[in-house]
């Protein structure tokens, strides 16, 4: 091979290696694989608590700065880099219905509690219960979820909604927000105010939802979402900047 040919071949090889190294890292959107087989998420057999706290360096342990919170350890993002931990809260903005799922399978009956706060006058505090643990929106309208969707202050703080599979479905339960109403159930989400969500199902079919101790909905589903594909919990968001903390899930 001539010197010129060698240099051309070498340059091409370097270019190929460099371009491959610079490609964006891809994250799995579902359960991880090992040896070609899916690794199932472990079942929730006891209370799970998540406070999104970054561990502090202790005296004499040689840690000058605390390590970043390992979000991927217990959580699966539907779309990479959408969710992050900030000052002890799990936060997102402009997620556009690409949520984050807990890597645990829930039983049919469970109690779910957490705190939520929106930084926007649009409200939009949204979670998914008993979904498949990996799905997200495939179009602008989220009509193909796998879960119950619980939305406080959705649609620019105009509705509180409990929906099944399709957040726009005609069968959804809704409360119209009326800022001047004395009914606590009709109040809008206030930016910066912390809301405590309480969700439970105890009979395998009735989803109950309270916020700050106020009952919003109790929906008895004739075709309850249970079992494989309907056994995960996740946080979600449309456009507003939202944060979540103090999660506790207890199997019943």
Extract the tokens encoding 56. 């502090």
The domain of 63 spans 3-251
Predicted pLDDT at 55: 66
Which H or E run includes 217? Answer: strand 214-220
Predicted pLDDT at 46: 97
Q: Strand, coil or helix: what is 115?
A: strand
Which H or E run includes 76? Answer: strand 75-77
The Cα–Cα gap between 150 and 154 comes to: 9
- The candidate with the shortest Cα–Cα distance to 127, out of 250, 209, 225, is 209
Averaged over successive runs of 10 residues, the pLDDT of the chain (252 residues) comes to 43 37 36 56 97 66 62 91 93 95 98 99 98 88 93 98 97 98 98 99 99 98 97 97 98 98
Query: For position 144, which CATH number holds?
Result: 2.60.120.560
Instruction: Give the number of domains in the chain.
Output: 1
Predicted pLDDT at 70: 87
Which H or E run includes 249? Answer: strand 242-251
Strand partners, 125: 152
E-assigned strand segments in 119-201: 125-131, 148-153, 159-164, 173-176, 195-201
Alpha-carbon dihedral sign for residues 99, 229, 156, 112:
negative
Q: How many residues make up the chain in this entry? A: 252
């Amino acid at each position: 091979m001539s010197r010129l040919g060698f240099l051309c071949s070498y340059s091409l090889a370097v270019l190929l290696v460099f371009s491959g190294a610079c490609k964006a890292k891809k994250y799995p959107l579902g359960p991880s694989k090992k040896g070609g087989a899916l690794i199932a998420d472990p079942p929730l057999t006891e209370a799970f608590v998540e406070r999104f706290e970054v561990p502090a360096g202790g005296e004499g342990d040689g840690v000058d700065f605390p390590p970043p919170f390992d979000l991927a350890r217990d959580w699966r993002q539907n779309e990479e880099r959408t969710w992050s931990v900030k000052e002890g809260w799990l936060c997102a903005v402009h997620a556009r219905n690409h949520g984050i799922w807990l890597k645990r399978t829930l039983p049919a009956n469970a109690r779910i509690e957490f705190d939520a706060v929106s930084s926007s006058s649009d409200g939009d505090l949204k979670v998914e219960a008993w979904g498949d643990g990996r799905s997200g929106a495939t179009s602008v309208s989220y009509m193909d979820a796998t879960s119950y969707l619980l939305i406080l202050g959705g649609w620019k703080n105009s509705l509180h909604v409990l929906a099944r599979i399709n957040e726009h479905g005609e069968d959804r339960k809704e409360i119209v927000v009326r800022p001047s109403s004395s009914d606590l159930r009709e109040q809008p989400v206030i930016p910066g105010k912390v809301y405590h969500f309480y969700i439970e199902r105890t009979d395998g079919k009735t989803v109950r939802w309270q916020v700050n101790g106020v009952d919003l909905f109790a929906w008895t589903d004739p075709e309850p979402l249970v079992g494989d594909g309907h056994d995960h919990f996740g946080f979600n968001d449309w456009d507003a900047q939202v944060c979540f903390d103090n999660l506790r899930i207890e199997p019943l």
